[in-house]
Amino acid sequence: MSDRYAVFGNPVRHSLSPRIHALFAAATGQDLTYEAVEAPVGGFREAVLAFRDAGGRGANVTVPFKEEAYALCARVSERAQRAAAVNTLSFEAGGAVVGDNTDGAGLVRDLTQRLGLDLGGARILLLGAGGAARGVLGPLLLEGAAEIVVANRTEARARALERAFGGLGRVRACGLAAIPPGPYDLVLNATAASLAGEVPPLDEVVLAGAPLCYDLAYARDGLTPFVAWARGRGLRAEDGLGMLVEQAAEAFALWRGVRPETAPVLAALRGGAAGQ
């Protein structure tokens, strides 16, 4: 019987993760299935444990459950502990749930290897302070970012990240209406606005001169609202599909012991072959 994996989220029907992992499995000769499971809000723990008890080997976790996934784990990796958020679960033979966070590694790999961005000494504006932001802050600082400004609608949540990650580098917190002036080398949208078809309330002057705007969300068809908004102002902007593929490869390697090639999968997704 094939080993079973899944992604849990709400909503999750849009997810490309099942197709990505099917392509990874075919390319590496791994016998597995991978499905999307929409867990009810308030019922994430029960849904994951039911999947484990039915023979599941591991799972990915997306919005809005990454912090709940962290609380579910008996043991977590150092990067997950730093983020206090988990996006990758492994189920041990005795039933223990082990957590990791591959988001930051996936983002860094996409930014540096595919997009050619040098993060050493970079000044970064990070919009949002939820699980997605928590997952990428540490790896960005460890890559040598000179400063990361965390701007969030609720400033207190941004302040919490300033305290949690300040030991790794310079982190400044603020509200969305009080973002320090640029220039920024990179603007990251880690809010859930794109999932709601919206753009964060942002003074476009803040983005002036930014070499790259990057949305951690992605769209199955067309552009995310943030990418469309930035490109409409003449800025270079990318969505998070590359990050999705890279973090998926990191999770696949944790589960299966082999890291798949990501470029062919991203090319297939961009061409529409895997987006159906």
132 labelled ligand-binding = yes
156 labelled ligand-binding = yes
Residue 66: active-site member: yes
Q: What is the share, in percent, of the chain residues with pLDDT greater than 90?
A: 86
Mean pLDDT of 210-239: 93
Map residue 19 onto helix, strand or coil.
Answer: helix
Q: What is the pLDDT of residue 276?
A: 24
Q: What does pLDDT average to over the chain?
A: 94
Which tens digits make up the pLDDT trace of 21-48?
Answer: 999 999 999 999 999 999 999 999 999 9
Indicate the DSSP class of residue 175: E
Tokens of 76: 């977590």
Distance CA 107, CA 118 (A): 13
- CATH number of the structural domain 3-101+242-271: 3.40.50.10860
Q: Beta partners for 147?
A: 123
Domain extent listing, the chain: 3-101+242-271, 117-239
Q: What is the pLDDT of residue 275?
A: 30
95 labelled ligand-binding = no
- Whose CA is closest to 68, among 107, 42, 38, 103? 42
Residue 120 has pLDDT above 60, yes or no: yes
Mean pLDDT of 4-15: 94
Measured between alpha carbons, how far is residue 85 from residues 131, 180, 221, 259, 274 in Å? 6, 27, 28, 23, 28
Q: What is the pLDDT of residue 272?
A: 54
Q: What's the number of CA atoms in the CB half-sphere (13 Å) around residue 20? A: 31
Domain range 117-239, CATH architecture: 3-Layer(aba) Sandwich (3.40)
Of 21, 66, 159, 256, which is the active-site residue? 66
Mean pLDDT of 63-69: 92
Q: What is the pLDDT of residue 273?
A: 36
Against a cut of 0.85, is the pTM above it? yes
Which tens digits make up the pLDDT trace of 97-110?
Answer: 999 999 999 999 99
* Single-letter amino acid, residue 249: A
87 labelled ligand-binding = yes
- Whose CA is closest to 193, among 170, 221, 162, 227? 227
Which tens digits make up the pLDDT trace of 133-178?
Answer: 999 999 999 999 999 999 999 999 999 999 999 999 999 999 999 9
128 labelled ligand-binding = yes
